[in-house]
A and B are shown apart, each in its own frame.
Chain A
Amino acid sequence: MDETVAEYIRRTVLKIPRDEIKVMLQKWGFLSEAQLQTLNFHQIKDNISQEVVQLCEENSADIKQAAVLDIIYNHIYQNKRMWSVYQMKKTGEELEYFDITDFKKKFKRRLRSALQNVTITFKEYEDNAIWIRVAWGTPYKKPNQYKPSYVVYHSQTPYVFISSSVLKSTLPLLCQALIVASNYHDIREMELRSHSLNSLKDIVFKRYSQNFQTCTPKPLEGGNVEPENADIRIVEENRSEKERIHRLNQEVFGSGPQPKLEFAQYRLETMFKSDPKMDVLDKKEPFRCLIKFSSPHLLESLKSLAPAGMADAPLSPLLTCIPHKARNYFKIREKKGLYPESFVSP
């Protein structure tokens, strides 16, 4: 077995928390149940990893198998990576039957034609998701297994989730391979990023609960507005106002839990407006400024702003449109028209 493969497997095992190593190896399925029995999981991780490498040596593992283990690890710890959503477009409306083997073949062929030294690994999951791991090399160097790209593609949808390699130059190649393999014509980044892959899926597949104006508003349940142990000595003066805030919040955010995003970023490229008489900063240059909101759970924080009395309800649509528009990176530019405050997508 190649030493680099052994080392790669060893390091991957070291990343896994000790009490999960066994389960993950079972999922991997490369080592037989009998082999797994021989492993002692009650020792320091370093030793476990050595033993695992030894067993793999017996089975003469190659980089393909090692890469599968890596995908399994990343599938479980997907929140450790930053994911970005891409959308693909077709010109026509031709509906095609999606064939997975065909997809794989085209994807590989396309990448290999551009770069020989790549490791490409696929793994399919139950929810129609195809996980692709690509480790990149150069024409003269073997693929660097420690800096791979991960792609999660749901067939039948135009969306791709990419956690790209630190080797930035590889991204165009990857995108090209993707559109060729899935019969699309164009791909673009949606400016939607998060650590939580599932939340991104919830947003683009519109899976999170969302109340739209068209829905018949439920009769206001007391649950959220009125405290359970209402003390008659405490009188809420602004109950109706609170109910209004609650209603507005429901309309905008829905009643369910919000998808998890960590930040939203607004790049302002608007003109500075001042009294023409003052004649300061009256330049045609845009006033550049970057505003970044960050939180462990941004949408939930935004949702609780108004009820917590930290902002007026309703919130600015700039903040509330994130899930609808499926993006958390914005560029706000001067609009040519009448409404300088509304924003234009690039």
Chain B
Amino acid sequence: MQRRRSSKTPKQPLHVHHKSQTDLSAWRKGGKIDSEKSLQNNQSANDQKYESQEGSLELALSYFEKVQDSVALKKKSVVQRHLDVVESTALKQGLPPEGFEILLKVALSGRFADTVNTRLLKSLIPTSVIPENSVVTAVSWLCVGKCSGNIQVLFLKWLITMFDFIDHKEQLNALYGFFFFFLQDEKMCPYVCHVLYLLTRRENVKPFRIRILLDLQAKMGMQSHLQALLSLYKVFCPDQVTITLPGKMKTYFKNSEGPWKAAITAVRQRNQGISPLAQAVFLGTSRPQSRKRKWNAQLVIPASSANRLEAGREKNRLYLCGTNESFPVEQLQTFPQLLQNIHRLEFPAQMGSVLTNPLLLHYMNFVKDESIYLRLHYWMGQRLQEECTWCVVDNPCEEEFKSFLENVYKAECFLQEGFSACEEFLYKTLPLWDGVSCRSEVLKLVSWIPLSSFSDIKPYLFDPLAQLFFTSSIYFKCSVLECLKELLQNWLNCNAIQMDLEISSANTTLCGLVDAVAELVHFVGRISTVALRLENNSTLLLYFILDFYDTVCDMYLKYNLPLLIMPPAGVFYPALLSMDSVNLNQLCYIMYRYRTNLVAAKENEQSKKKILQFKFSNQTYQEYNQYLTAMVGCLWTSTAFQKDIHPQGLRMDDELLSKTAVKEIKNSFNIVYHPAMMGYSVQFLQEICPDDTTFNFKLIKGKKWDWYLEYLYNQGLKGLKVFIESSISRVSQAARSKSGNVEA
């Protein structure tokens, strides 16, 4: 693989005419000789198509290489012809790496008129990579100052746009001081700032540079590009940059990619269109997508360093072994590699590529460098804002945005934490969200919103969500409930880990967590109650609600959080009287877990004898007991109408009950007659007395009652089983109910 790649890059830049020809053809055939057969066919067909063109490209390049004296465009024909060839080749398939040095030199040396230089610069579109050497040469020409101001600026724009295509940046970084000098040029300053922003490493931040930047800022006022660079410096050396900078800016830099954007996309599409395998040949590798900026959203990281390693193995052996040499991230393929090189890794310029690369995410998690988060924040915030489908009418690529959100979500799952850019984006756009565009992706992102005080985020998050929730379809309601469950679990997980680390020293954070979680659970309780009303106690909805409480009922034991909250009556009773056995079974299981948690809490309280800050209030126990009474009364003792003491419960006067004229009304919700259980009891009757078609449910009692229970358990009603076994002590039929209750 690597050998093949390396064959594309000649070992030396071009010098003479004939040599350039051989080298170019070597480049062209390189991919062909080594690739697979299918690819070969494809390539050669492709080659023929461009055969003549490449021939003339070679001629053109050699012409530009040799041309010495300044030539006026008027006498053009020759220049014109070569220029046309370069342009059309560049637009069709991009230029080979060898072309850059020649063309950059011509463009920046001021030999031709500006129109020619501009056209040359605009057609510098790479097929694969741009050799670092060529850029270094170009910068030296820039310093000579033979070209006009416009060309200088255009070159810088080109450099910014193509930064990710430059195969490596060691020597370029060595020119840091030269770039820095250009800050003094008023016209170039914004672009130079951008270049420096991309180039800066920790070791580039020097006190004298900070001083110069501050002077510049004092002279030119608060310019966003200067601030961007300063904020990066501040991240690297917070002790030296002492001024306060505005927190988060909308945009640091103007777009520079204008002239090349469309062309790059076109070249990419054309080269990708040939065959998916060929893509690897053209762009070096089939690594995950880089997403530094919008236009190269689909582009692959150029496998630059791979080239270098192979080509320069002999030459640079010593150099490579040096301890200071950083390991090219493009080469990082395996976890052992990561471990071996973890001390000399450096993030790629396109931070976006980190999102889809698990190894880099590992690394990011490990180093916890603030500059990484700053870069990611800047990039992600801008992209989210620019492409948000419901806030930007003219954005047609919903699919692309969706997959971007999906990638962000996956990265968040991997890192087990939300990105701050994402959080800000949600706060800003959720109030404007229609609830339809990118629904599942947005809700997934919501589930990674970091824990914060409920009242702070309520107007941005929970209010708009509730508004959408109440007015949207049942399916939306279910998705929201699911996402809130995920949110709750994420909060609980993150803090369970933190609590382990901090060992209850910081009670304030625990307090905050308990409050926020309690608010969230109450919020879900409220909207669930309303939703059940609106959707006429829909079974599907109830399922999602109970799923949420499945997490809530275990918070004490599973997440070690001193908090238990019972579902509101508006959820409990619809579940208890639900027409569906799955939900009833789930309710039984949840009540069983509540019981286990409460019992454990009680025991802890009594045994440890220490004063706990967080003690479940008696109200929780009381509420649990009320619900339990109602449940046992319903399902078991058929006394719910008398015994239920919950204010919103089932209690009814006998007089009123008799008016309903329903026979055996008291039994109507026990495990035999309950609408959710009726199916089972009918089936059971059919099995025990197949000849009886009268469905005499009264037969189910005594021994048969036990058989029936056994039968239910075998049908998979495990929740019912654990509930009955734990909460109902069956010593004698008479004393069934009371004794099972937990005493508060």
Direct contact, A vs B (beta carbon within 8 Å): yes
Bound state CA distance, A46 and B82, in angstroms? 13
CB pair A46–B74 under 8 Å, yes or no, is no
**For window 55-85 of chain B, which residues contact chain A by CB distance below 8 Å?**
74, 80, 84
Q: Are B74 and A7 in contact (CB under 8 A)?
A: yes
| Prevailing SS type, chain B contact patch | helix
Per the bound structure, the CA–CA distance linking A7 and B74 in Å amounts to 9
Interface of A is mostly: helix
> How many residues on chain A are close to B (CB under 8 Å)?
3
Query: What per-residue 1/0 map shows which CB atoms of A230-264 lie under 8 Å from chain B?
Result: 00000000000000000000000000000000000
Between A and B, 4 residue pairs with Cβ closer than 8 Å are A7-B74, A44-B84, A46-B80, A46-B84
CB of A274, distance to nearest CB on chain B (Å): 34
Q: Which of A174-228 contact B (CB under 8 A)?
A: none
Q: Mark A41-59, 1 if CB is under 8 A from B, else 0.
A: 0001010000000000000
Chain A residue contacts of B74, Cβ below 8 A: 7
Q: Which residue of A lies closest to B77 (CB)?
A: A50
State in angstroms the CA–CA spacing of A44 and B74 once bound together: 18
CA distance A44 to B88 in the complex (A): 12
Query: In this complex, what residue of A is CB-closest to B74?
Result: A7
Give Cα A44–Cα B84 distance, bound, in whole angstroms: 11
A7 neighbours in B (Cβ, 8 Å): 74
Name the B residues within 8 Å of A46 (CB-CB): 80, 84
Question: Chain B: which residue is nearest A50 at the CB level?
Answer: B77
Residue of A nearest to B80 (CB): A46
How far apart sit A293 and B429, CA to CA, in the bound complex (Å)? 32
Which chain B residue lies CB-closest to A7? Answer: B74
Contact with B along A8-51 (1 / 0, CB 8 A): 00000000000000000000000000000000000010100000
A26 → B minimal CB distance (Å): 27
Least CB distance from A53 to B in Å reads 12
CA distance A6 to B95 in the complex (A): 34
* A44 surroundings in chain B (CB, below 8 A): 84
- In the assembled complex, the Cα of A7 lies from the Cα of B84 at a distance in Å of 19
A44's nearest neighbour on chain B, judged by CB, is B84
Q: List, in ascending order, chain A residues with CB within 8 A of B84's CB.
A: 44, 46
Q: How far is the CA of A132 from the CA of B180 in the complex (A)?
A: 56
CB distance from A57 to the nearest CB of B (A): 15
Given the complex of chains A and B, what is the CA–CA distance between A46 and B84 in angstroms? 10
The 4 A-B pairs at the shortest CB distance, nearest first, are namely A46-B80, A46-B84, A7-B74, A44-B84
Chain B nearest CB from A246 CB (Å) reads 29
How far apart are the CA atoms of A46 and B73 in the complex, in Å?
14
Q: Which residue of A lies closest to B81 (CB)?
A: A46
CA distance A219 to B80 in the complex (A): 66
Complex: how many Å from CA A44 to CA B87? 14
The A64-119 residues at the B interface (CB cut-off 8 A) are none
- In the bound complex, CA of A7 to CA of B75 (Å): 11
Bound complex: CA A46 to CA B74 (Å):
13
Q: Taking CB as reference atom, which chain A residue is nearest B76?
A: A46
Cβ distance A11 to chain B, nearest Cβ, rounded Å: 11
Please give the distance in Å from B138's CB to the nearest CB on chain A: 29
**Beta-carbon nearest neighbor of B84 in chain A:** A46
Q: Bound complex: CA of A173 vs CA of B74, how far in Å?
A: 32
Instruction: Looking at the assembled complex, report how far the CB atom of A314 sits from the nearest CB atom of chain B, in whole angstroms.
Output: 31
Q: Mark A301-324, 1 if CB is under 8 A from B, else 0.
A: 000000000000000000000000
| Inter-chain contacts of B80 with A (CB < 8 A) | 46
- Bound-state CA distance A287–B51 (Å) is 69
Measured CB to CB, the closest approach of chain B to A16, in angstroms, equals: 18
Report the minimal beta-carbon distance from A13 to chain B, rounded to whole angstroms: 15
Q: What's the nearest-Cβ distance from chain A to residue B516, in Å?
A: 46
Cα–Cα, bound, A46→B80 (Å)? 9
Give CA–CA (A21, B84) in the complex, Å: 21
Chain B's nearest CB lies how many Å from the CB of A9?
15
- A5 to chain B: closest CB distance in Å? 14
Q: In the complex, what distance in Å separates the CA atom of A226 from the CA atom of B72?
A: 66
User: Which residues in window 645-673 of B have CB below 8 A to A?
Assistant: none
- Closest Cβ–Cβ distance, residue B122 to chain A (whole Å): 18
Q: Compute how far the CA of A44 lies from the CA of B81 in the bound complex, rounded to whole angstroms.
A: 11
| Bound form: Cα–Cα A46–B81 in Å | 9
- Kindly supply a per-residue 1/0 record for chain B positions 71-108, scoring 1 wherever the CB is within 8 Å of any chain A CB and 0 otherwise: 00010000010001000000000000000000000000
Residues of B433-492 contacting chain A, CB below 8 A: none
Nearest chain A CB to B451's CB is how many angstroms away? 46
Q: How far is the CB of B82 from chain A (nearest CB, A)?
A: 13
Expressed in whole angstroms, the Cα–Cα distance for A157 and B84 within the complex equals 49
Query: Nearest chain A CB to B184's CB is how many angstroms away?
Result: 35
State A44–B80 Cα separation when bound (angstroms). Answer: 13
Chain B residue nearest to A3 (CB atoms) is B74
C-alpha spacing A7/B72, complex, angstroms: 14
Q: Shortest Cβ distance from A193 into chain B, in angstroms?
A: 31
Q: A46 CB to closest chain B CB, in angstroms?
A: 7
| Assembly CA distance A50 to B80 (angstroms) | 13
